[in-house]
Copies of this chain bind each other. A is one copy, B any other.
Amino acid sequence: MKLTKFLPLAAGLIVLPVLGFAQEVEIDMTPPNDEIGYIFTTFMFLVTGFLVMWMAAGFTMLEAGLVRQKNTTMQLMKNIALFSIAAIMYYLIGYNLMYPGDGWTITNVLGAFSPAVMEPVGVAGADTDLTYASVGSDFYFQLMFCATTASIVSGTLAERIKLWPFLIFVVILTGLIYPIQASWKWGGGFLDANYGFLDFAGSTVVHSVGGWAALAGALILGPRLGKYGKNGSVHPFPGANLPLATLGTLILWMGWFGFNGGSQLYMDTAGNVADISRIFANTNTAAAGGALAALLLTKLLYKKPDLTMVLNGALAGLVSITAEPLTPGLGMATIIGAIGGVIVVFAVPFLDKLKIDDVVGAIPVHLCAGIWGTIAVVLTNSDATLFGQLISIVIVGAFVFVVSAVVWFILKVTMGIRVSEEEEVQGLDIGELGMEAYPEFAKG
């Protein structure tokens, strides 16, 4: 072999390991170009969006499992109808009310009144306003949050509210109340601009809003017949189908990965997708913390642990982490969720003491844990201020509670919101719908 042939080989033998090593450390972390980023983020919205849509099934099963069998068909009907109404109202006015861009009707307070438009890419219009993801995917994702808010209300008011006034309230909630207050934070309105309010995925903007609307309704509607005795006794009305309630909880648990994860709003870089990952992990551990806290606490308080409290504990854990699922570590997320679970265990009997009848525990879960979660942001995110969080909780709460109460009151005095005593005793399924949920199963 000639030396001239040998030389490159020798050089190769020397250089190769070096290149091998070089390859190992030289990671090409160049963010994707805008179009690839657009595809990533848009697809992320679609995937997390269908998970949030799936929460509609979660609420439906949870509520169908926790009402008595005689009111089950009605609860199913309300949930299908409210989700459908949310879809239409959010299209007709909600989306543009919530995201006015530069087109506020009253700057930073009231958005624009116009239907949502989704133009194909390349056509002048909506899609040019949102270059990091498709407007259609954003609309789809945000719509599901609006629908979630309405789902929360139906659980509290179950077993006694008439179908049609409830649906009219849903029209107003999803078309006006929810999007207007959401614009204050997520549309860049005054809570965002002036108070530095932080609410990552909506402990306040979604969950407490549903809770306030439900509380206003519960107060004006009154408790179910026989729920509260004269001597302060509370009559339990156990749910008819606990496997359904558990299924509903697990559906919500699953859907919440979309709820919190998608609220990252971007998946166009390694940093963003890693953030979404930590959000998934934190969301899961907060739910676990809430469930275990409720399990241990009800064992301690009542000797026998209470399944419905454990389910609501998991949900409260999820609501608690929703305002800030990104900045906590796993341990802190577990604790934040666990405190949510504790809150539920105490809030449920406390509401009963006040004779506020909440059939599924939606107010403890979504309002009480929602407030806690919103405050807890200050524990791990230094951009949040206690004042900004508290003032925003109060402003949103006051707005939603007052407007909801007015709407409920008008509905009450005009068309009536409560079924007759006879119908309530017989069950809403027969009275209002003429259709039983379990027609063949004998009643025990």
- Spell out A's residues near B (CB within 8 Å): 27-36, 38-40, 42-47, 49-51, 53-54, 56-57, 60-61, 64-65, 68-69, 72-73, 76-77, 79-81, 83-88, 91, 115-118, 120-122, 127, 131, 134-137, 139-140, 143, 163, 238-244, 246-247, 249-251, 253-254, 257, 261, 267-271, 273-278, 280-281, 284-285, 287-289, 291-292, 295, 304-308, 310-311, 314, 329-331, 334, 432-444
Do B440 and A68 have beta carbons less than 8 Å apart?
Answer: yes
Select one of B47, B134, B140, B295 contacting A284, CB under 8 A: B140
Do B273 and A134 have beta carbons less than 8 Å apart?
Answer: yes
Do A242 and B76 have beta carbons less than 8 Å apart?
Answer: yes
Nearest opposing residue in chain B for A298, CB measure: B433
List the B side residues contacting A432 at CB < 8 Å.
Answer: 304
Do A244 and B243 have beta carbons less than 8 Å apart?
Answer: yes
Known contacts A120-B278, A136-B274, A288 near B87 by CB under 8 Å: yes
List the B side residues contacting A443 at CB < 8 Å.
Answer: 440-442, 444
| Subset of 16 A-B contacts with CB under 8 Å | A50-B280, A53-B254, A53-B284, A54-B250, A80-B246, A80-B310, A81-B310, A84-B291, A87-B284, A91-B334, A136-B281, A240-B441, A242-B436, A304-B434, A307-B433, A438-B441
List the B side residues contacting A83 at CB < 8 Å.
Answer: 288
List the B side residues contacting A271 at CB < 8 Å.
Answer: 120-122
Nearest opposing residue in chain B for A45, CB measure: B277
State in angstroms the CA–CA spacing of A197 and B54 once bound together.
33
Copies held by the complex = 3
Do B137 and A243 have beta carbons less than 8 Å apart?
Answer: no
A89 to chain B, nearest CB (A): 10
Do A274 and B437 have beta carbons less than 8 Å apart?
Answer: no
Do B435 and A307 have beta carbons less than 8 Å apart?
Answer: yes
State in angstroms the CA–CA spacing of A76 and B249 once bound together.
11
Do A277 and B32 have beta carbons less than 8 Å apart?
Answer: no
State in angstroms the CA–CA spacing of A247 and B435 once bound together.
17
State in angstroms the CA–CA spacing of A416 and B282 once bound together.
35
Do A254 and B440 have beta carbons less than 8 Å apart?
Answer: no
A206 to chain B, nearest CB (A): 18
Known contacts A34-B28, A254-B57, A437-B242, A49 near B280 by CB under 8 Å: yes
Nearest opposing residue in chain B for A75, CB measure: B243
State in angstroms the CA–CA spacing of A311 and B84 once bound together.
11
Known contacts A84-B287, A314-B84, A440 near B240 by CB under 8 Å: yes
A62 to chain B, nearest CB (A): 11
Do A330 and B116 have beta carbons less than 8 Å apart?
Answer: yes
Do B292 and A81 have beta carbons less than 8 Å apart?
Answer: yes
Do B250 and A46 have beta carbons less than 8 Å apart?
Answer: no
Do A292 and B88 have beta carbons less than 8 Å apart?
Answer: yes
Known contacts A288-B87, A444-B441, A306 near B241 by CB under 8 Å: no
List the B side residues contacting A434 at CB < 8 Å.
Answer: 304
Known contacts A76-B246, A270-B121, A439 near B238 by CB under 8 Å: yes
Nearest opposing residue in chain B for A131, CB measure: B27
Most buried by B among A31, A43, A270: A270
Do A273 and B242 have beta carbons less than 8 Å apart?
Answer: no
State in angstroms the CA–CA spacing of A278 and B140 once bound together.
8
Select one of B50, B257, B305 contacting A163, CB under 8 A: B305
Nearest opposing residue in chain B for A243, CB measure: B64
A174 to chain B, nearest CB (A): 11
List the B side residues contacting A87 at CB < 8 Å.
Answer: 284-285, 287-288
List the B side residues contacting A306 at CB < 8 Å.
Answer: 433, 435
